Structure 1
């Protein structure tokens, strides 16, 4: 019965009404063909395939478009030419759709067609429901209802009498099927509608002739129907191929929608089956079914997932069930009478109303709870455009709206955030304390996703928000430079107290400081929170941008974002540092002069170069070296003491007591100090040089799939402790230590440490205290950092 309703949806134009009996049977043939194809080709023996609603709207749009095109043409076309052109176009479109689906499955592109935005699909399905209701109302009233304005024709009393019972019956069936979940409910409702109608005819004494005359039932065909008569309208001599090209946009949209809806059907069956299905193979099954349907004069179809799931739950495990359905449908086609001439119109319209209510409730009412507001707006937008304009415009504008919504959502999402990180370099205690206090001078921003023209403004705003200058610097620059309108200003923090102070200075703002926060203003803004802060806010010296999670960048973001950021930072004495730059992004930045020629060749921090490093750890190490060069006086005391022979003074131990417990060792660059898994027999203090501590690749791979190469743990420099944690834990070495440069190292064996505790307890306590302070400071550093 759904097939009969679908036929009246496809051929809803009034010119097809005299031929509807033949066209209904043609649709029934298509349903039978789909069923036998799915029974034979599908991997599921209980599969049910029929003409489906997803593609019918496009077929209806194609049929109506061809009729209008033929009527607008200068040549007068007879009805045989209209039917032949329409049928050949619809069947050809179905066959080509099948070919496209088969190719899509062969190429394993089933996931690609699922990229159609769900809100657009939701708006389309809601339009299918409205279209079914409109077709049902037009069929019951006997009037042409194509546009929303045509509903005004239904205000007379006769139209109300003819339409109201079918609409009420459709709503009744939906309510009952929602409340009572049983496979017999829908057939019982359908039989009840027929029983009530024919019972009312018997009670009122109304004959079939009277019912047909009033409009309750479709008129009888002019002659007795023959099976071959359904193909009599396929006359190649009456076919006008020149009108087919105009239907290409509708066909393309139909391809995506049918492929998408078929994938949804397969996914629904997959969930009910509790085992994975090959979506590409099932899509090929749908494709071959449409190819054969089109070649036999049929229309688009796919899995009917509700009937397929019902067959599965009923224990059907034979393809003979599908063959039986095929035989029954074929028997109805070969019957000499027209079904629609004996079944009331309200019965078919009630099924169309049922489809409308079901789709409208799912995609308009209930969808509100499963979507964001912006996506729900797109559902309504797509639906309204389809109702007021046309199907193709609704899909195109809906996709445009979904794309715009994505851009807005992507820009508003957190694509950049401030993180507090440090390098893995283990330094002497004094340097670590200095870095802890001045680490705020290194601003690290972690970028995420694809950086494009929309997100570059947000990145600039975040940079302005986090970069701090001293108040004197801001006042000096604003008094000596003029305003440049080429740089976009961003608002300061929402503090009314600050607004009054800063706004008086904005008259002298410059591109270099426009929108930047003065350090004093920041302290005032955060005074109630940071009065006792152990790590104070500092004047920014380095801005580090971590690209580890960035997938790509466009030229607009480079030109309007990073070039401008570099200009602003350089003029304020701040170094711009990039970390984890993918090769293609680094090439794009170089192409647009984000890196100057001298930037990549200098190791000095004095001329605020723009630098790029392979990892964030190396980038932070370079920044910390720059801070230490400014904060801690540079003096090579280690070399001086080593040359003078007073090596024990590096440990602040006298030359008499030190050699009793402390051994000195020299290592050349690349030489191993200890290996991962080796026995621990003491700890080391770096006198001079650099040591890399890492997890070897052989051990790294043992952590699981995806772990390759050696993993850098830390770098230890002058004054840093090495192996102290392993000694305290009394275990084998967890990592490998390798000299990165020529090193001079002190080694305190475990046995010597035990002897020291007995013979020189004060000296042993100093070593113990140094180890404890180093570990305590490491804990503080780790807790502060965003690891």
Structure 2
């Protein structure tokens, strides 16, 4: 049904929208109407022109406006009466309910004329809406209680004046706030109210409507959940049961039969059955009023101006308005949020983007005018708006007709509620209850996590058992707590396998491939706070590995129960007096690795003969590229502890991509030692920080190579002795045999080398080749360091967001350069620049072709070097998490 404007983004809501608005048996929107609704530009394609009907005559057009305007009025007028009884549900207002009902109808009429004039949608329908209804009721009840508790005795005129001035003033101020929100284009910010809290609030609206309807039918005061005990007598059952059954009946029928006439027909059926029963039983209106079926007659004939007689400034007590500020603030957010959802629902059905900020201003101005005329909060009634749109009504006259009909009923001299049974209005309130309760309590479970669904229930129960404001505040607190828990449990840290972009000689690359497991790289995401530091510490323990001998040595030198490396798993074995036999067993030759978080179990799946074996951790790299911030608790309880644990076990802690403010925070709390940032040595396990992850990994790899491969500067030694070609021979892979004298030999020396190889020296900063330059061969780095990068001018050409020079790789001793471009027979893709003084071998393409004919075995060594380098690069890329 959802005729009151509250919407739910649940699977059930989407299903109902598709059935109700896409498949209703309504007239087709003509091509001419489609053009007008889209600013005069026809959007009807040639393929769909056979659906368009002939332009209707003026008589048919006005008949349609009258028909759909009447249908909307038939639905909306009873709702306005029901809403009035909800706002003024306190028993002190009952003698004045006839005037207050008409005041609510005036407010609905004002909203309608405002939306008809100001909205960008010519078919817009706006009325007093349920979103702010409960807050108005809470404010009215609060003022009554405050006046009763005051030392001064107040007459009823003062109660009415203070209540009405506060309600209309709150409405006008709400409108001003909504206009400002739209002007500042803050419509998206008000949607930050957690959806589960809104769901609990909408469910409470339904319960509140049911409770108000039951109180109206029974004639008893039902404000708290404990007051329902008063309804156990037989008379209350007779008075309430028909209205509740009728409301459930309307909900079932409107769900099963998708047609725009169903709801009005159900309403007319209820009235027909009631008045038919009165005629059959011979019950008069006086008898029905006496028993409680119909509200009593007012004391005098009603006049239009009588609805404003209670606005007496002399009876107004402004000192009670400030107490309603919390309710007003909550009402602002809820109404703004609900209005944004209404606009979104209309936008979805219209298949046309709407300016949410402009529409929010329309809602704001409507509330300003409504408040100034003594009315109450309102917004779009999205179901009626979509109903008018789907019916092909694109005239503002439909809204004007609804306004005129509501105003005509207000100006009538009789009270509507004195002739229409209470169960009729209560059935509408029950319909609202069932619709909202099914939407937000039953069907919402399909579209929410369990924790969010519990917040819906928590918010709803707090509102029912305590009050509205407490439910919203505690619901938001619960949603915030749920976010913290979910954020902590989410994967904020993960292990990745990455390598630097340094292209080294083949022997070093093979060594790094086997020992790269010694570098543990962890990527951190999001904001690191006190809740996530524990998870980070646990992940570090999980991924850092030590040898068994080191762990046994730790156990013999100190108690693990006091160590920062102690784990619950290990200590639990000690507490229960169990000792693992594996701890005393000899370490297998092909093993020797232990995980810090499971010290009693060998990692049997790790094997030394694996292609990429697990290794004892030497470096822990923390990548902060996706980290947005950090708090002091995470620094003190997290990273200081991690540093202490790693240093004690000879593991270097390395930070990469540290934002400046995070680096300052870490330095402030002594995560870095004084000399950490000023040394390039890998000794004494320093804690270091690097600008990028690539540079950090390069530093770690240099450290591994210094430990794994004995440092010997053969390049410098051979160059100083003048044996230049012997250096190239050392860098190339071994051949299949041959002699230097034989024309087919595979050795590179001073005889064969100069035939095909050119030697070049480059100073630091000198370009070797440029991006886009012609390819005439490839290079082998004899000694030095070369940066390969994409220049900023070419980087920008890739599209928006790409700026600056992009580093591709770095090539060092023994690495090949330009080989890929040569094989692809294209221009150079990047620029190569000497990062240090370099000595480089250059093999031209023509010389390579000659070598294949004159010295095929030597050419095969070059081909093997290229193929082996590329194959290893493919393996490295496949293993790495890029």
Q: TM-score, normalised by structure 2?
A: 0.86
How far 1:138 moved relative to its partner?
Answer: 0.4
Aligned residues: 785
Deviation at 1:480, TM superposition (A): 2.4
- Partners of 1:580 and 1:208 in 2: CA distance: 82
Shift in Å, 1:528: 4.5
Shift, 1:548, TM fit: 0.7
Structure 2 counterpart of 1:287, from 342, 364, 367:
364
The structural deviation recorded for 1:485 is 5.1
Equivalent residue runs for 1:506-545 within 5 Å: 517-518=594-595, 525-528=602-605, 530=607, 533-545=610-622
1:476 Cα shift? 2.1
**Alpha carbons of 1:496 and 1:784: their partners in 2 closer, same or farther (altered >3 Å)?**
farther
Question: 2:597 & 2:188 partners in 1: Cα distance?
Answer: 55
SS of equivalent residue, structure 2 residue 132: helix
| In structure 1, distance between residues paired with 2:529 and 2:881 | 26
2:834 corresponds to 1:757: no
User: Residue 512 of structure 1 contacts residue 567 of structure 1 at CA under 8 Å; is this kept in 2?
Assistant: no
**1:378–1:521 Cα change, 3 Å:** closer
The match for 1:731 among 826, 833, 842 is 826
2:366 partner SS: helix
Secondary structure of the structure 2 residue equivalent to 1:76: coil
CA contact (8 A) 2:515 2:704 kept: yes
Distance 1:138 1:518 in 2: 67
Looking at structure 2, the residues matched to 682 and 284 of structure 1 have their Cα atoms a distance apart, in angstroms, of 68
Once the two structures are TM-superposed, the CA of residue 526 in structure 1 deviates from its matched residue by 3.8
- In structure 2, relative to structure 1, the CA distance for the partners of 1:524 and 1:216 (3 Å cut) is closer
Residues in 1 aligned to 2:534 and 2:327: alpha-carbon distance in whole angstroms: 39
TM-score with structure 1 length normalisation?
A: 0.96
Quick check: 2:565–2:645 contact (8 Å CA) kept in 1? Answer: no
SS of the residue corresponding to residue 789 of structure 2 reads: strand
Contact 1:469–1:516 (8 Å) recurs in 2: yes
Shift of 1:41: 1.2
Could you say if the C-alpha distance between residues 324 and 521 of structure 1 is closer, same or farther in structure 2, counting changes exceeding 3 Å? closer
Q: For residues 297 and 511 of structure 1, do their structure 2 counterparts lie closer, same or farther at Cα, with a shift above 3 Å needed?
A: farther
Specify the SS of the correspondent of 2:600: helix
Higher deviation after alignment, 500-509 or 206-215: 500-509
Instruction: Tell me how far apart the structure 1 counterparts of residues 868 and 438 of structure 2 sit (CA, whole Å).
Output: 67
CA contact (8 A) 2:606 2:613 kept: no
Q: 1:68: how far off?
A: 1.0
Q: Distance in 1 between matches of 2:695 and 2:645?
A: 24
Structure 1 residues 598 and 25 mapped into 2: Cα distance closer, same or farther (>3 Å)?
same
Q: Report SS of the residue matched to 2:138.
A: helix
Q: Deviations over 1:51-84 (max 9, x none)?
A: 0000010110111111111111121111111111
SS where residue 570 of structure 2 aligns? Answer: coil
Most deviating of 575-584 and 421-430: 575-584
Deviations 1:301-355 (A, max 9, x none): 0011111111111112222221221111111111100000000000000000000
The alpha carbon displacement at 1:609 in A equals 1.2
Q: Residue deviations 1:489-547, cap 9 Å, x none?
A: 54459999999987799999999999994599789644247575211111111100001
Does residue 91 of the first structure (1) align with residue 168 of the second (2)?
A: yes
Q: How far, CA to CA, are the matches of 1:554 and 1:584 in structure 2?
A: 11
**Cα 1:349–1:493 shift into 2, 3 Å:** farther
Contact 1:519 1:538 in 2 (8 A): no
Taking structure 1 as reference, are residues 98 and 504 closer, same or farther at Cα in structure 2, changes over 3 Å only?
Answer: farther
Give the 3 Å change call, closer, same or farther, for CA 721–507 of structure 1 in structure 2. Answer: closer
- 1:5-24 alignment runs, 5 A limit: 5-24=82-101
Work out whether residues 102 and 288 of structure 1, in 8 Å CA contact, stay in contact via their aligned partners in 2.
yes
CA contact (8 A) 2:523 2:623 kept: yes
> In structure 1, how many angstroms separate the alpha carbons of the residues matched to 2:562 and 2:86?
60
CA contact (8 A) 1:364 1:380 kept: yes
- Once the two structures are superposed, residues 256-297 of structure 1 have per-residue CA deviations (whole angstroms, 9 ceiling, x without a partner) of 100100010011111111111111111111111111111111
Over residues 113-142 of structure 1, what are the superposed CA-to-partner deviations in whole Å (9 max), with x where a residue is unaligned?
111000000000000000000000000000
* In structure 2, C-alpha distance between the alignment counterparts of 1:208 and 1:514, rounded to whole Å: 96
**Cα drift, residue 246 of structure 1:** 1.2
Checking the alignment, whether the CA contact within 8 Å between 2:582 and 2:600 is kept in structure 1 is: no
Aligned CA distance change for structure 1 residues 80 and 584 (closer, same or farther; 3 Å)? same
- Closer/same/farther in 2, CA of residues 150 and 465 from structure 1, 3 Å limit: same
CA distance 1:655–1:368, shift in 2 (3 Å) = same
SS, match of residue 599 in structure 2: helix
CA contact (8 A) 1:9 1:132 kept: yes
Contact residue 770 and residue 831 of structure 2 kept, 8 A: yes
Between 1:528-537 and 1:223-232, the stretch displaced more is 528-537
> Are the counterparts in 1 of residues 125 and 384 from structure 2 also a CA contact under 8 Å?
yes
Q: Conserved in 2, the CA contact under 8 Å of 1:62 and 1:90?
A: yes
Deviates more, 1:484-493 or 1:604-613: 484-493
**What do the CA deviations read for 1:146-202 (whole angstroms, capped 9, x no partner)?**
111111111111111110110011001101111111111101110110111111111
Moved more, 354-363 or 590-599: 590-599
- Check whether the contact 1:492–1:515 (CA below 8 A) recurs between aligned residues: no
**Mapped contact 1:545–1:578 kept (Cα < 8 A):** yes
Distance 1:493 1:465, change over 3 A: farther
Give yes or no for contact 2:139–2:167 (8 Å, CA) kept in 1.
yes
Take 1:430 and 1:351, find their aligned partners in 2: how far apart are those partners? 82
Q: In the alignment, is the contact (CA less than 8 A) between 1:689 and 1:744 conserved in 2? A: yes
SS of aligned partner of 1:484: helix
Q: CA deviation at 1:6?
A: 0.1
The Cα shift of 1:430 comes to 0.6
Structure 2's unaligned 5+ residue stretches are 1-79, 730-747
Q: Secondary structure at the match of 2:611?
A: coil
CA–CA separation in structure 1 for the residues paired with 2:545 and 2:767? 43
Deviations 1:382-419 (A, max 9, x none): 00010011111110110010000000000000010000
Residue 247 of structure 2 contacts residue 431 of structure 2 at CA under 8 Å; is this kept in 1? yes
